[in-house]
Structure 1
Amino acid sequence: MNLLKMLSASECLWFCLDVLIPSASAEGEPGSRIKVVVREGSDATLPCSLSTKESIIQELFNWRKVDPNEQEVFRYDGGLHYYNGLPGQDEHFRGRVSHFPLELKSGNASIIIKNTVVPDSGVYTCDFPRLQPEQTFRITLVVEPVIRDRSEDITGAAPKPLIHVLKISEDEARLKCEVRGAFPKPKVEWRDGDGNTLPAEEPQVSHTGERYDITLLTMVTRTNSSLFLCVATQEELKHETQDKLYVAFCGGEYALR
């Protein structure tokens, strides 16, 4: 018989919650290392819980990323935190971190980092500076990248640039390159047919969450090949993508190849 059919409605609810929600309790003593491994794009629960189960509703606890770089992740101080009055959270984590308010009464200071990305990987600390003795937990988060068969399918990798001719004359043309929805932030540049980097205007950069949209404009002049490339490079992912444009300086005609 189906297990869920044997349970009452309330028992079924708690059973389903227990299966679907990852545990938020830390195993081990303060100072010991805990390792959490998730796939990129999923949510990560970083555990931190007092063994005494005493209430921390009026306590202070602070989450920091300490390696490979130092960042303020989440801070709770007697009911205040980064989303209701406390300043200082690192921009990288803004809007992506939550805690378990209903479990503070039982000593649970765990957090959830939503929609993880590879740069979230590192060592985090959860400390209670007002407790005697002070307690600190160390948690290592490993975010595994999602890689498919083609480099273009790497989660967050820059897609093929979109390139346009905005204006053209007999001897020069104004070109536009757009890279949309990329993370990490790519380096975008214009090159000539020989691979030389061309002067360009200051990139126009916007982002939604962790995804970057970049527009780069340049003015080019007639060359022997009239071939120009827009190249987007992400060193962290070892990923590069490009598109090319053949410009015919003849009354405004141009071709994409």
Structure 2
Amino acid sequence: MTSADGKGPVVVKEGSDALLPCSLSTEENIEGKLFHWKKDGQKEVFLYDAGVHYNNGRPGQDEQFKGRVSHFQDGLKHRNASITIRNTKLADRGNYTCDFPRLQNQTFHIELDVGAAAEPSVTILDQIKDWALLQCLVRGASPMPKVEWKDSSGNMVPAHEPQVSQRGDGTYDVTLQAAVNKTDRFRCVVTQEEIYHQIYAETNVLLPPPPEND
């Protein structure tokens, strides 16, 4: 599904604000018009009718969106019916419609994807003689993160195949293990490009020095 501005889904990080675009190309002023926002075809997100809307006394807004949705009052003069959803939650993900039912039923479709930022945790699972097994664990992340092990110089550390599982809410758990054979500070780097999120966690590995040659 494409958005009203033709640029694809709106993707934001959980807890941030989402701007859902909607504007007419034919009307100069929509202050006296009716436009109606819904989620997944049923949930009442925002309704504006000639100055009366959900934020100034009109009843009917879904509990999920109460106190979190605002429009652009000054933008109405310029055909702008966009809304902002504040403090987004994973439950806000879905397909939204912006409908002008009295204007030849003009309807715009916008997909909202709310990402859950990854928070990695690292552990040393095992350490025997001259090697150590590292594990990086990410839980409940969305979109699916890219997980990598790096040494203190930023070099990629060869790792096992990542173990990925998807939860019922659409988020992902990822486990990545790597065996290392040197003393160093190792970093698990987790990247979610879609929501401009990158984070890392570190651990120190201390291994005995290699035996000296006679």
Which residue identity is paired with 2:63?
A: E
Residue 53 of structure 1 deviates from its aligned partner by 4.7
TM-score, normalized by length of structure 2? Answer: 0.55
Moved over 2 A (4+): 25-28, 150-155, 234-239
* TM-aligned CA deviation for residue 134 of structure 1: 1.6
- TM-score, scaled to structure 1: 0.46
Q: Which runs of structure 2 are paired with 1:173-252 in the superposition (5 Å)?
A: 236=169
2:96 alignment partner, one of 121, 124, 130: 124
- For the residue of structure 2 that corresponds to 1:119, the secondary structure is helix
Deviation at 1:238, TM superposition (A): 7.9
Corresponding residue for 1:41? 15
> Which amino acid is the alignment partner of residue 25 of structure 2?
S
Distance 2:33 2:58 in 1: 15
Q: Distance in 2 between matches of 1:129 and 1:100?
A: 20
Match of 2:60 in 1: 88
Task: Confirm or deny: 8 A CA contact 1:65 1:73 kept in the other structure.
Answer: yes
**What is the root-mean-square deviation of aligned Cα atoms in Å?**
2.7
CA contact (8 A) 1:36 1:142 kept: yes
d(CA) in 2 for partners of 1:101, 1:153: 40
1:58 to 17, 29, 32: 32
Higher relative CO (CA 8 A, sep ≥ 6), structure 1 or 2?
Answer: 2
- For 1:148 and 1:53, locate their aligned partners in 2 and report how far apart those are by CA, in whole Å: 46
In 2 relative to 1, CA 86–34 (structure 1 residues): closer, same or farther, beyond 3 Å?
Answer: farther
Amino acid aligned to 2:92: D
1:128 counterpart letter in structure 2? F
Q: What is the letter of the counterpart of residue 88 of structure 2? A: T
1:143 alignment partner in structure 2: 114
How far off its partner does 1:52 sit?
2.3
Q: Give the drift of 1:152.
A: 9.4
Partner residue of 1:107 out of 57, 75, 79: 79
Q: Matched residues in 1 for 2:4 and 2:40: separation?
A: 19
CA contact 1:62–1:75 (8 Å) conserved in 2: yes
Consecutive unaligned residues in structure 2, runs of 5 or more? 122-136, 142-166, 174-214
Q: What SS class does the counterpart of residue 76 from structure 2 fall into? A: helix
Which structure dedicates a bigger proportion of its chain to helix? 1
Change (3 A) 1:34 1:50: farther
SS state at 1:105 partner: helix
Map of 1:195 onto structure 2:
none
| Percent of paired sites with the same residue | 55
| Closer/same/farther in 2, CA of residues 34 and 59 from structure 1, 3 Å limit | farther
Q: Which amino acid aligns with 1:118?
A: L
1:74 matched to which residue of 2? 46
